[in-house]
Every structure is written in structure tokens, then in C-alpha cells.
């Protein structure tokens, strides 16, 4: 929004009223939703407009809905919105329905979006829920972004991913990139794990968290544990993961700190043991699933690829490698 204000001011003073009038003919789009129902594409465009009040300037969003028999036709219909030309250079978020990504459809979708929008620094989210229902509650893309940031910090089950992050892999079908997923249940938006491109799988919260942890995409999250029939909220922070492979064994070392405002000091050692047991079980279950299904999005396989290159039996080595796991977590200021 600051960039929009700066653009308005700059053009007014440098180019005069004529250029200001040109700016006034633009529909600034900062959010896009795309969905496919049967053979019809649905395009949702979040247009932001400033409204000046006595003491402050606020922004208001309007959702425009256009359809087409192709995505190109839908975008063409959305080029003019109430006599204003669609302007995408302030795009911050795109919400894609899972129907557009299954069966490798993303291999055609993503090049189209790259060519059409000419940028890729906007956040990407996937959902199996009807877009119209989500956008009724979240017309402002900033609210969706804040939701993801909050969930990333609190649960570790999602992360901030941009179109450029996906684009870096050139839509390689052998690389199962992931997109954070959200779902609307009982009119409440929730994280839904991660959608794996090319696999048409959605990893649950636990698997998503471990995947992000192993690739150092999250550095903190909260875990609830029970000790002596009492629940405690534990904050895991300053997390760091190091992975190496040698002699058919993956060595994983995770370090980090623990803290809790409600846990008695004398229970820290017991809490640390409980946290590490939970984390160890989650990691072992995740690695077993990854090896069984040969999912290439895992950082483990990436490490193996860097180590061995394109060997013909790379998949076999990956699936039969052992796991050596070391956890080093401690309460801040403590000896546990």
C-alpha cells in the first residue's frame, strides 16, 4: 500500500494531473483466486481502493468474479473492471483451488501465470474449499497473509511460499514441490498441511511441520504436552536442522531452545524428555513415509542427490538408507 501511495504522489508531481488521471483509471489488484468447476474457469480479483476519511486513509477491497471456458478467456474478461484496467504489479497473494493442480495441470498453469503476470514475488496458497466462501471472509489478502504468518509461528504447520519459489524448479515433475494448504471448516479458516505438486497428496499437519523443520523453513513452534494430568504449553525456538549422509545413513541433528511461562522449574527435565520423544516419533514416522512413497520433496533426498548425483540406483539408496537422529533441546537458562 505504501508503494501505491508513493506512486500516486510521484506521478502527480512529476507528470502532472494528466498522469494522475491515468493512474486513476487503473484497478489495483493485490489478490487473485483461481478455481475450475467442470469446464469453467473462475477468476476472483481483489481490487484495492483508498478511501480518505477525516483523520486517516483506509483501504477497501472489492472482489470481482469473472468466468471463461479457458483461463485466457477469464483473464481477458477481467482486463476491464468498471471501466478501469486491471493492474497486477502490486499483487501480493494468489489462492489456487486444488482442482487446478491435480494430474500435473500445474505444468501448464504456472508457465501461463508467469507469462501473464510477469512477476512471481506473491504468496501462493492452495485450498480444496470453494474460493467464494473463503473470499467472503477474507477480501483483503493481507488478512490471509497474517493468518499464515501466525500459524507458521504458532504451529509450524505452514510457511510463506512465493510463486518464484516454485518457479525456481521449472515445474520439474520429478521434484515434488509443496504449496501451503488452507481449508474452510464450519466457517473457520484452518491450515490444511501442504499440497505436494506432482503427487496429488496433501500432507497432514504433523508431516508438514517436520518437512518444514528438516528444510529449516521454520525455526519455532508451540507444542502442548501433558505431565501428571496437567497440560503445558511449550515454545520450541531457535530451531536448526543439519542433515548429512554417509555409509548408507542419514544423520540428522536438531538443536534448539525450550521455554514456558507456566511450567514449574522442577518439571523442565521431564518436559524436555517428553518434547524430544514426540519430535523423535514424528520425524521417524515422516521419514518412513517419505522413503516408502519415494517423495522427492524431502530434504533428505535432496542431500542424497547433492552427494551422489544422478545415479541410476539413487531411489533404491534413498529408500534403504538408515536414520541416525540426534536431538539437542534445552530450556533457556537451564541445564536440562
Q: How far apart are the first and last CA of the chain?
A: 47
The residue written with cell numbers 501451503 in the block is: 180
What is the per-residue pLDDT for 316?
A: 87
Nearest of 217, 256, 251, 259 to residue 238 by alpha carbon: 256
Segment (H or E) for 58: strand 57-68
Q: Flag residues of the chain having pLDDT under 70.
A: 1-21, 169-176, 295-298, 311-312, 333-336
Nearest of 196, 161, 331, 184 to residue 263 by alpha carbon: 331
For the chain, how many helices (H) and strands (E)? 10, 14
Nearest of 86, 98, 99 to residue 44 by alpha carbon: 86
Could you name the CATH architecture of 214-336? Answer: 2-Layer Sandwich (3.30)
Contact 233, 213 (CB under 8 A): no
Name 117's bridge partners: none
How far apart CA 84 and CA 24 sit, in angstroms, is: 8
How far apart CA 156 and CA 282 sit, in angstroms, is: 13
- The residues, ordered by sequence, that sit 6+ positions from 257 with a Cβ below 8 Å of its Cβ are 236, 237, 238, 329, 330, 331, 332
What is the per-residue pLDDT for 36?
A: 94
pTM of the model: 0.82
> All 3 cell numbers of residue 183?
481449508
Tens-place pLDDT, residues 18-35:
554 477 889 999 999 999
Amino acid at each position: 500500500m505504501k508503494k501505491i501511495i508513493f506512486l500516486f504522489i510521484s506521478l502527480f508531481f512529476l507528470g502532472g494531473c494528466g498522469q494522475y488521471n491515468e493512474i486513476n483509471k487503473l484497478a489495483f489488484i493485490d489478490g487473485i483466486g483461481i478455481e475450475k468447476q467442470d469446464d469453467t474457469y473462475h477468476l476472483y480479483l481483489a481490487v484495492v481502493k483508498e478511501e480518505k476519511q477525516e483523520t486517516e486513509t483506509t483501504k477497501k477491497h472489492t472482489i470481482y468474479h469473472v468466468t471463461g471456458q479457458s483461463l485466457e478467456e477469464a483473464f481477458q474478461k477481467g482486463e476491464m473492471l468498471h471501466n478501469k484496467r486491471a493492474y497486477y504489479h502490486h499483487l501480493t497473494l494468489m489462492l489456487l483451488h486444488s482442482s487446478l493442480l491435480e494430474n500435473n495441470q500445474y505444468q501448464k498453469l504456472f508457465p501461463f501465470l508467469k507469462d501473464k503476470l510477469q512477476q512471481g514475488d506473491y504468496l501462493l496458497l492452495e485450498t480444496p474449499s470453494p474460493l467464494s466462501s473463503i473470499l467472503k471472509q477474507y477480501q483483503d489478502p493481507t488478512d490471509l497473509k497474517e493468518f499464515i504468518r501466525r500459524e507458521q509461528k504458532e504451529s509450524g504447520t505452514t510457511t510463506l511460499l512465493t510463486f518464484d519459489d516454485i518457479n525456481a524448479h521449472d515445474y520439474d515433475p520429478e521434484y515434488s514441490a509443496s504449496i501451503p494448504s488452507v481449508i474452510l471448516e464450519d466457517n473457520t479458516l484452518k491450515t490444511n498441511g501442504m499440497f505436494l505438486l506432482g503427487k496429488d497428496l496433501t500432507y497432514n499437519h504433523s508431516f508438514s511441520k517436520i518437512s518444514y523443520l528438516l528444510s529449516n523453513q521454520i525455526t519455532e513452534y508451540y507444542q502442548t504436552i501433558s505431565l501428571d494430568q496437567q497440560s503445558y504449553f511449550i515454545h520450541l525456538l531457535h530451531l536448526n536442522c543439519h542433515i548429512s549422509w554417509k555409509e548408507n545413513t542419514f544423520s540428522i541433528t536438531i538443536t534448539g531452545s525450550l521455554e514456558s511461562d507456566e511450567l514449574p522449574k522442577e518439571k523442565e527435565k521431564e518436559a524436555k524428555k517428553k518434547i524430544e520423544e514426540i519430535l523423535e516419533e514424528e520425524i521417524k514416522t515422516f521419514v518412513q513415509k517419505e522413503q516408502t512413497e519415494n517423495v522427492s520433496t524431502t530434504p533428505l533426498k535432496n542431500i542424497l542427490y547433492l552427494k551422489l548425483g544422478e545415479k541410476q540406483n539413487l531411489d533404491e539408496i534413498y529408500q534403504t538408507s538408515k536414520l541416525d537422529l540426534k536431538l539437542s533441546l534445552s530450556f533457556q537458562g537451564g541445564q536440562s
